[in-house]
Amino acid sequence: MSFDRTKLGTSDLEKYFHNNERRLIHKWNHYFDIYERHFNRFRNRPIVILEIGVFHGGSLQMWKDYFGNKVQIHGVDINPDCKKLEEDQVQIHIGSQTDRAFLRKLKEQIPKVDILIDDGGHTMKQQQTTFEELYDHVKEDGVYLCEDTHSSYWIEYGGGLKRRKTFMEFSKNLIDSLNAFHSRQGSFKPDSFTKSADSIHFYDSIVVIEKRKRTAPIDLKSGEESFPYDYHHNGSKTKYRILLSINKVLQFLRLPGFIWR
């Protein structure tokens, strides 16, 4: 495919890609800006990267060029031929991303990672198993990125719109966990994800989780009130309690909430 180079992006990663004459890289054109947004702060630092899915090894070379001579890169692929793609700063591990025993052994063999990129087989089981086993191996200020999540809408990968157990539906549930500090339901409590994820970013075909150790947020106020304010928004504590009771029933029945106007 030919490109009009006057219309190409200007990021370092995109420049590398379009000038690449080394090993094959396969990316969607909008990925580079996403990488830059989340990876730039790690450049020229002594970091560890883990990429699931080696393919022809081109992206490993791209990361090495982008992050500099202090980066340590680990690639995982099920294809044993990928082992010969090792080079300085790049180590390849052969195994399946659905093999939990392999992933657990991998965690024993490599240090905690600053960036994890899941560009593996893209099936629902592969993406979810990788997240379940390796999310905790990303450092507390690191980045977990899963790409090609459009496979959640492809039937042959186990996907489909609103289909249960796709990676996108799985990721949507993580939004609830992210907000669990604000739960008023006994059955919905903060978990390890709540306490370790700072943000979740949804892009076309990419989900990014920025990690950061968190504690329950504190509700603050400053300044003087301009006028009396009804924090129950209804003028009556009794009315508020009735409204709360009604909505507890509606919530149990999974029906939309009711608000007095």
Active site residues: 122
Of residues 197, 162, 207, 202, the one with CA closest to residue 177 = 197
Cα separation, 209 vs 116, in Å, equals: 10
Cα separation, 190 vs 176, in Å, equals: 9
Does residue 129 contact residue 120 with C-beta atoms inside 8 Å? no
What is residue 136's DSSP assignment? Answer: G
**Residue 14: which H helix or E strand, with range?**
helix 12-18
Cα 261 to Cα 31, 141, 243, 251: the distances in Å are: 45, 44, 12, 19
Of residues 22, 53, 235, the one with CA closest to residue 134 = 53
Sign, CA dihedral 40-45-50-51, equals positive
